[in-house]
Structure 1
């Protein structure tokens, strides 16, 4: 993917037309992927850069990396004071603000398209528990079926929950296990029994059957959305 550098908007020459070209070239590739319903890592990368621009615009705390030669002290208070001086005295900051404003205006519609694709994919997913679910279903397996195909991908998952002073975060780690062809005799229930017998480190795992009724790119779209949807499903249960 044609990616942007972390500080692309302040690195090198602060020429608006050049930065505009760099940005539009990046967004063109993002939209090409979105046109094929390929969400990741494109949407994650786009949201990261959007938030990075907002943070710089609102908090202006990345100066230490952006203009190290213009700092007099390395501590954070000195960074803030020095930045304030540059904002007031240096015309280059006006060009940076112009670049940021333009970039935010162009990135926002692309993010909205990505979110619409995500919401559509999520709406086509169905999640069902396979058999009884343990009281704490924070580790186990899920079987993922992509559209009308008979192939199922099995993943082991581990849910993690961590908090800071402001919020609670939920994450999920997955590891590919195997594939199987679903049939009358080869069902999610029979696969669950096989997993329990063959993988003894999870003697009483939670197992979920996740299916989309439309086919999507597996690695770039279906799997990432399925992971996030499974986290929401488990936490709401």
Structure 2
């Protein structure tokens, strides 16, 4: 798909019409992905660009208030820009300001479309434990059933906690183990028992099944959203 470089705003020709062309081509490609219910990796990329633009806008305004004739050197990949001796009526700044003012609502509108698709898929996921759930939930098996399919994708999952000075984050890593075709004699419960016999590294694993109630692509939407849903589900169990 048509991607957008991280420093698209400043690299190449600094011209409003040119940047507008780049942006619209990128957003059209993003919306095409959304139209096919494919959220990832395009949704994460879109969020990154939007956050960069918002922080750049805030940074520029802050500098205007404190140092209206100069913006210090910084690395754009850290959400800043390099400017030297720029005043408010400078032609370069006017071009950048015009691009930012045009791009920000365009990103925001497309981001809302992505959020609506994410929420739609998440609302149509059914998650439940398989068998008896042990006290320890941060490691185990995830069964993932796509819409109207008799196959179950089997994953081993591990939830990790990241902390900084202010917040705590939970991440999840999955490893695909196998694809199982289920039938009347192979329920989710039977599948869990079979795994216990085949794999000894987890003697008493937490096991959850996520069932998709709508058809969405596995890798680009279902699996990423199921993983995040599982993290939220397990977090509530641990509370």
TM over 0.5: yes
Residue 30 of structure 1 pairs with residue 30 of structure 2: yes
Number of equivalences: 225
From the superposition, tell whether residues 87 and 162 of structure 1 become closer, same or farther in structure 2 (CA, over 3 Å).
Answer: farther
SS at match of 2:149: coil
Match of 1:70 in 2: none
Q: 2: distance between equivalents of 1:198 and 1:187?
A: 16
Q: CA deviation at 1:87?
A: 4.7
From the superposition, tell whether residues 196 and 48 of structure 1 become closer, same or farther in structure 2 (CA, over 3 Å).
Answer: same
Match of 1:132 in 2: 132
Residue 147 of structure 1 pairs with residue 147 of structure 2: yes
Contact 2:72–2:84 (CA under 8 A) maintained in structure 1: no
Q: CA deviation at 1:162?
A: 1.4
1:160-179 alignment, distance < 5 Å: 160-179=160-179
TM-score normalised by length of structure 1: 0.89
User: Structure 1, residues 120-159: CA drift from partner, whole Å, max 9, x if none?
Assistant: 1011101110111121200111110011110110111110
Contact 2:151–2:181 (CA under 8 A) maintained in structure 1: yes
Q: 1: distance between equivalents of 2:197 and 2:30?
A: 44
Match of 1:217 in 2: 217
Q: CA deviation at 1:42?
A: 1.1
Match of 1:228 in 2: 228
Contact 1:158–1:174 (CA under 8 A) maintained in structure 2: yes
- For the aligned residues, what is the CA RMSD? 2.1
1:41-190 alignment, distance < 5 Å: 41-59=41-59, 63-65=73-75, 83=83, 85-88=85-88, 90-190=90-190
Q: 1: distance between equivalents of 2:88 and 2:101?
A: 18
Q: 2: distance between equivalents of 1:123 and 1:179?
A: 24
Q: CA deviation at 1:46?
A: 0.5
Match of 1:191 in 2: 191
Q: 2: distance between equivalents of 1:63 and 1:89?
A: 19
Which segment is superposed worse, 1-10 or 196-205? 196-205
TM-score normalised by length of structure 2: 0.88
User: Structure 1, residues 133-192: CA drift from partner, whole Å, max 9, x if none?
Assistant: 121200111110011110110111110111111211111111111011121111111111
Match of 2:39 in 1: 39
Q: CA deviation at 1:94?
A: 2.0
Q: CA deviation at 1:86?
A: 2.6
Unaligned runs of 5+ in 2: 61-70
Match of 1:72 in 2: none
Q: CA deviation at 1:84?
A: 7.5
SS at match of 2:86: helix
Contact 2:142–2:155 (CA under 8 A) maintained in structure 1: yes
